[in-house]
Every structure is written in C-alpha cells, then in structure tokens.
Chains A and B, each alone.
Chain A
Amino acid sequence: MSTAADERNARAPWALTAPALMLFVGVLLIPLAMTVMLSFHDWGQYKGIEPVFILKNWHEIATDPYYAEMFWRTFRIAILTTLLTALLGAPEAYILNRMSGRWKSIFLLVILGPLLISVVARTLGWALLFGGNNGLVNKLLMSAGVIRSPIPFMFTETGMVVALAHVMMPFMVLSVWAALQRLDPQIENAAMSLGAGPVTIIRRIIMPQIMPGVLSGAIIVFSLSASAFATPAIIGGRRLKVAATLAYDEFLNTLNWPLGAAVATLLLVALVLIVVGSNALIERRYAEVFR
C-alpha cells in the first residue's frame, strides 16, 4: 500500500512539470541539438546540405584565421562594453540610490530609456549623431575647429562599443542598485563615526559590498554583448562582422547552414563556459557578502 502511494508521490512532480518540460524540450533542447548536429553536416554550392558526419566546418573555423579574428573581435567588443558599463554604471547607480524620491524615479526612467526604444531607432540615432561627415556631433566639432576630419563611428569597433554600452547600461545600473539596496543604511555613518573620509568609505566600505552586483551585472552585459546582433549589424554592417552577424550571414546569405551552425554552437559553448566559470569564481570570492 504505502509503497504504491510513495511511487505515486514520486511520480507527481514529474507529471506536474511535464507541460513546461515538454515546451522546454520542444522549443529549446531539440532545436539546439539539431543545430549542433547540423554543424557536423556537409555543404556544397550545388549539392546543398548533406546529412553526413564530417568535421569540415569545425576544421575550417579552427584553421582559418578569419574566424579567430572574428571571435576575438566579438569578445574584445563585449569586454570593452562590459568595462564601460561598469565604470559608468556603478557610480550612476550609487548616485541614483542617494537621490530623493521623485528625482530617483525620473532618473530611473532615463536610465531604462534605451531599453524602451527600438534597437533600430536607437542605433540609427547614434549614426545621426556621429555618422560620417553629416553626423551632428561631427559637423559641430568640425565647424568649431576642434577636429579636422570626422570622428569615425560607423563601421568601427568604437562605435559598436559605445552603442552597445548605451543599451546595456540599464542592466548594470539595476544590478548594482540591487546590491546597494542590501547595504545597511547606517553603514556609511558607522564608517564615518570611526573616522573614515568620503573616499575611504567608498573604497573600503561601499565598493567591496557592491562588487558582487557589479560582477553579476558584468556577466549579463558580457553575454548579451557577445551575442548581440542588431546593434553590430547596423553599425558594423558587412565590413565589421561579429559572431552573431557572421552566423546570420552564413545562414541567410551564403546559405551555408552547417558552417553558420558551427559558428553559433561555438559562440554558445564559449559563452556558457565563460559565464559559468566567472560565476563560480565570484561566488567563491564574495561568499561572505552574498550570504
């Protein structure tokens, strides 16, 4: 009797999670597995995709320096974007946290702004400001005589980093802000009463405590930037490809699906490794603050 009941109880969680599990398997795991399998298939200009198992695509990615350069560029842009958002976002969150009620909500909206605007409008807005000779900022600076030739923005890594940092900023600010909420409201007064000046308070008391927030924000920003498509596609175009835009081109322009699948798989694996690895490091390093 009781064993039958136990068995039924043991099955219940599976039965209850089955619908969500099926959705997860159906729309995520199966396509993902198929993409991985696809990366081992062969492809030819005239024969199309051949469902055989060969390492041709992976060999090409491993040996052709074009891919190494492209992946290196992808991660370089992601790292620079992450650094920029951390350097600007952490102080921004700190200032936001010290604002009083009404101003706080207004500026929170300003910070969330980039997420509310369509990626195309936002990125083209940057292009209007900096694009070539006709960009507003470039025109202004040139007519003022500050610069002779326009600051290159379109089709540059700088442009990509700036535009990505703009849209990623909310993730960093919110993540640091969450860490600031955990701070004891009296902690700065406590440090002050012990004789610490404002710089020491920030460096010795605030920074170590919001570091987990900065780092988890950094993980979000890094993984979103490394796999970003729309912003690099508009600013970098065909000239400056990153992993996501390359995979897109292989799929839809060259129609070399297996190679595109290999690029996508490699990006996914690299990102998972980086994110899981750094997350483990952070949790070990900041165990005391996380508790």
Chain B
Amino acid sequence: MAYLELDRVAKQFGAQTVVDDFSLAVGKGEFISFLGPSGCGKTTTLQMIAGFVDPTRGAIRLEDKNLAAIHPAKRGLGIVFQSYALFPHMTAAENVAFGLEMRNVPRGERAERVRAALAMVGLAGYEDRHPRRMSGGQQQRVALARALVIKPSVLLLDEPLSNLDAKLREEMQIELRQIQRTIGTTTILVTHDQNEAMSLSDRIVVMSQGKIEQIGTPQETYERPASAFVSQFLGKTNDFAGTIDRTVVPTQLVAGSWRAPAPAGLSGPVTVSVRPERIGFGDAGLSAKIMTRIFQGNHWLFQCDSECGPAIVIRQNDGQAQPAEGDAVRLTWRPEDMSVRARAGA
C-alpha cells in the first residue's frame, strides 16, 4: 500500500494547466525526485502536497487520509525551501525550535531535540548564530534541521541545493542522502538538476509541461528513456535517423552504414538513441569524421560529424591510443545500448 498517494492530481491557473493528470504512489521511506525544466509543474505539485496550493482536480492521500481536508499547518510535513526561508530575527536554535514550540513540546525536551537536530546536520556549536551570519551551506543545514526536528511524515525539498556552489552541492547531496537513509523519512525532492536527481533518488519522476514523462529508478530512466524528452533531458544523447527495412530477411534496422537486426514491433522511419559513452570506434558502422577532440582528464570527448548528423562520443581514458582530429572513423554500438522509437512526421 502506498504511503503517500497522488491520484490524477491537476492544477489550473485560469486557462493554463500547470499540472495535469499526475498520479504517483510513494512508498514509506522512499526518496523520490521530481525532475524537469523550470515551468514543468514540479514545484506546483510539491506545493499541492504541502497545501500552499489547492489542486483543481484529483486527490492527495497520506496513509489513506485525504490530505486536502487538513490545513497546511496541521499536515506535519517538513519543508526545505529554495530560499531556505529561515527566520532572520531568530538564532539557529530558535529557528529549529519553532516547530517544536508550535507543538507544545516541553522546554527541556525541546532543547535536547534542537541540539540533536543541529548536531545531525553538522552544526553543533552554532546554536546562537543568526542566519544572516551563516554561509549559504550552513543556512541550508539549519533549514534541513528545522524541517526534520518535527519528525515529519514526509520531507519536501524544493530545489534546496540550487543556491550552493558546485563543490558544496556535491557534499550536501551525499550528506542529504546519508541523513535520509539514517532516519528513513519519506522524501520528495524537486530539482532541475539531473545529476542531483540521479545520485539521490530511489525513483525519479521526469516531468515536462505539467505531465509525467516517466517514473522509474535513475538507471531505468537513463538507460531506457520512455520518450525523446527524457533521453534529451537526462544526460547527453545522440539521436540518429534510421529506418527499419522489412524488405529483407531478416528485417534490418539501418542508420547510415550501421545496421543491426530490427527490433520487433516497429517499422518505417525510427529514431535511434545512443548514449555517447556507449559508442565505440570499430571497423564497421556509422562512418564519421572527428571534428574536435577534448581531453577531460578521466575521459576523452569527441565531437564527430557522422553521416546521420553530429554525434558525441565519450571514451574512458584507459591509456589506449585514441583517434585524432580529422580522422575518419566508424561508430559502432551494441544493439542493447540503444533505444529505438518510431519517428514522428517522417
């Protein structure tokens, strides 16, 4: 049974549909990411769970209770905002204690829990600091402690790491994942950063224009994108125009001079998607010319001009000799490394 359930939730602002037909079942303790470009409705969905926005249609249930009937102040959810929204006139400890105070937790217990929460996020000793005297990362930790100290049924994170610099963001990702694993709080993260979504979540909900494109584990969404949007949005990908030739036996999938046995169920023009790190240089396959070669430490990045359009190839820096700029190469990949979709409009 699902712990948190969104059932065909939709939100309209005037004539504009911001979220449409959003259904999702979240298990207890799961870490879910809503991933999509800005304006895809991910934050609106989060705000509907939080109760700051009322859904136009559909139901949101938490442990089979209708969440819409509960006032946002009584939902008991922990929320970390993109801007952190700390109370600037209160110290870190007072910020964290606020939720406990609202719950009439006795003073002694409150102090103990605030201390433990700040220690958990690595801010022991910062109790009396005011937020504006703290760095972005520290403020972020206070916001996390404030949301977690009330033992929320669900933790909602609205792009919490987007205001941090790259290095700090990576550190916080690891820490966030560890904290979430330790205390086992069901967590929903809203992000536009695919790396963040992939490294943190159990499952990713990829959204575009208010609709769910795909729900799956990070690996599933990366390896088997359900739509062109997902494959484009999650990492780099090469799209080659190909055709399935049913005039020969056995039927063949042809893209330029690359050919393979055709997958079942498709015919006519198709799009072949291959991740850049799955393409190798071989003796047969798509013929291409290397335009630029960029060394990036642990890997090489090749930009090629192939007979089916531009292609990107990433090769591990494994010490082997690599082709140089201007070389003519053949691009090849295993059939299981590609995804093939019917090509619309061709």
Asked if B85 and A184 make an inter-chain contact with CB atoms under 8 angstroms apart, the answer reads yes
CA distance A41 to B22 in the complex (A): 85
Q: Which residue of B lies closest to A196 (CB)?
A: B102
> Does B304 touch A at the CB level, under 8 Å?
no
B87 in contact with A193 (CB, 8 Å): no
The smallest C-beta distance from B102 to any residue of chain A, in angstroms, reads: 4
Residues B69-102 near A (CB distance < 8 A): 72-79, 81-89, 98-99, 102
Sort A-B residue pairs by CB-CB distance and give the 7 closest, nearest first.
A195-B102, A194-B99, A190-B85, A186-B85, A208-B89, A288-B130, A291-B132
Q: What does DSSP make chain A's interface, helix, strand, loop or mixed?
A: helix
Greatest chain A CB density within 10 A among B50, B77, B81 is at B81
Would you list which residues of chain A between 166 and 217 have a CB under 8 Å from chain B?
A: 184-187, 189-197, 200, 204-205, 208-209
Question: Shortest distance in angstroms between B179's beta carbon and chain A's nearest beta carbon?
Answer: 19
User: A residues within 8 Å of B by Cβ?
Assistant: 184-187, 189-197, 200, 204-205, 208-209, 286, 288-289, 291
Q: Is the CB of A184 within 8 A of B83?
A: yes
Complex CA distance for A261 and B22, rounded to whole angstroms: 76
What residues of chain A lie closer than 8 Å to B72, measured between beta carbons? 189, 192-193
What are 6 A-B contacts defined by CB distance under 8 Å? A189-B50, A189-B79, A193-B77, A195-B99, A195-B103, A209-B87
| Pair B85/A187 contact, Cβ less than 8 Å | yes
CB neighbours of B76 from chain A (8 A): 195
Q: Which residue of A lies closest to B102 (CB)?
A: A195
B150 sits at the interface (CB 8 A): yes
Query: Once bound together, how far apart are the Cα atoms of A286 and B88, in whole Å?
Result: 10
Are A205 and B87 within 8 A (Cβ)? yes
- Which of A195, A209, A286, A289 has its CB near the most chain B CB atoms (within 10 A)? A195
Closest CB in chain A relative to B78 CB, distance in Å: 7
Query: Would A195 and B85 count as touching, CB distance under 8 A?
Result: no
| A200 surroundings in chain B (CB, below 8 A) | 102
> Which A residues lie within 8 Å of B77 (CB)?
193
- Alpha-carbon gap, A240 to B195, bound state (A): 74
| Assembled-state Cα–Cα distance A186/B159 (Å) | 13
B146 pairs with A194, CB closer than 8 A? yes
Interface: B229 (CB within 8 A): no
Candidate in B83, B98, B132 with the most chain A CB atoms within 10 angstroms: B98
Q: What is the distance, in angstroms, from B114's C-beta to the closest C-beta of chain A? A: 13
> A186: which of B83, B103, B146 is its contact (CB, 8 Å)?
B83
Chain A residues with Cβ below 8 Å from B88 are: 209, 288-289, 291
Contacts A192-B72, A291-B130 aside, 4 further interface pairs with beta carbons under 8 A come to: A189-B85, A195-B102, A197-B73, A288-B133
Contacts of A190 in B (CB 8 A): 79, 81, 85-87
Q: From A187, which residue of chain B is reached at the shortest CB distance?
A: B85
Task: Specify the chain A residue showing the minimal Cβ separation from B50.
Answer: A193
Bound: A288/B128 CA distance, A: 12
A289 to B131, CA, bound (A): 10
Q: When the two chains form their complex, are residues B133 and A291 in contact, meaning their CB atoms are under 8 A apart?
A: yes
User: B residues engaging A (CB < 8 A)?
Assistant: 50, 52, 72-79, 81-89, 98-99, 102-103, 130, 132-133, 146-147, 150
The interface residues of chain B lying within 8 Å CB-to-CB of A289 are 88-89
Contact indicator B87/A187 (Cβ below 8 Å): yes
Provide the residues of chain A in CB contact with B75, threshold 8 Å: 193
Pick the residue among A184, A193, A288 that contacts B78 (CB under 8 A): A193
Tell me the complex Cα distance, A184–B83, Å.
8
Minimum CB distance partner of A287 in chain B? B130
Q: Which residue of A lies closest to B74 (CB)?
A: A195
Kindly provide the distance from the CB of B109 to the nearest chain A CB, expressed in whole angstroms.
Answer: 16
With A195-B74, A195-B103, A288-B89: A189-B83 Cβ-Cβ less than 8 Å: no
- Closest chain B residue to A190 by CB distance? B85
Give chain A residues whose Cβ lies under 8 Å from the Cβ of B83. 184-186
Q: Across the interface, name the chain B residue whose C-beta is closest to A189.
A: B52
Cβ 8 A contact of A189, one of B78, B81, B86, B133? B81
A52 to B79, CA, bound (A): 74
Residues of B within 8 A of A204 (CB): 98
A200 to B87 alpha-carbon distance, docked (Å)? 13
Q: In the complex, A34 Cα to B93 Cα: how many Å?
A: 56
The distance in angstroms between the C-alpha atoms of A189 and B80, with both chains bound, is 11
The verdict on A191 contacting B98 (CB below 8 Å), with A186-B83, A288-B89 known, is: yes
Q: How far is the CA of A184 from the CA of B79 in the complex (A)?
A: 15
**A196 and B85 contact, Cβ closer than 8 Å, known pairs A288-B130, A291-B133:** no
Chain B residues with CB under 8 A of A286 = 89
CB-CB under 8 A from A193, the residues of chain B are: 50, 72-73, 75, 77-79, 147
User: Which A residues are CB-close (under 8 A) to B74?
Assistant: 195
Taking CB as reference atom, which chain A residue is nearest B156? A193
One of A196, A209, A288 near B73 (C-beta < 8 A): A196
Closest to A194 in B: B99
CB of B123, distance to nearest CB on chain A (Å): 17
Once A186-B85, A189-B85, A191-B87 are accepted as A-B contacts, the answer to whether A288 and B50 lie under 8 Å apart by CB is no
- Give the chain B neighbours of A195 by CB distance below 8 A: 73-74, 76, 99, 102-103, 150
A288-B132, A291-B132 as given contacts; A209 in contact with B85, CB under 8 Å = no
Residue of B nearest to A188 (CB): B85
CB closest chain-A residue, reference B132: A291
- State A209–B132 Cα separation when bound (angstroms): 13
A209 engages B89 (CB within 8 Å) = yes
The CA of A204 and the CA of B101, in the complex, are separated in Å by 12
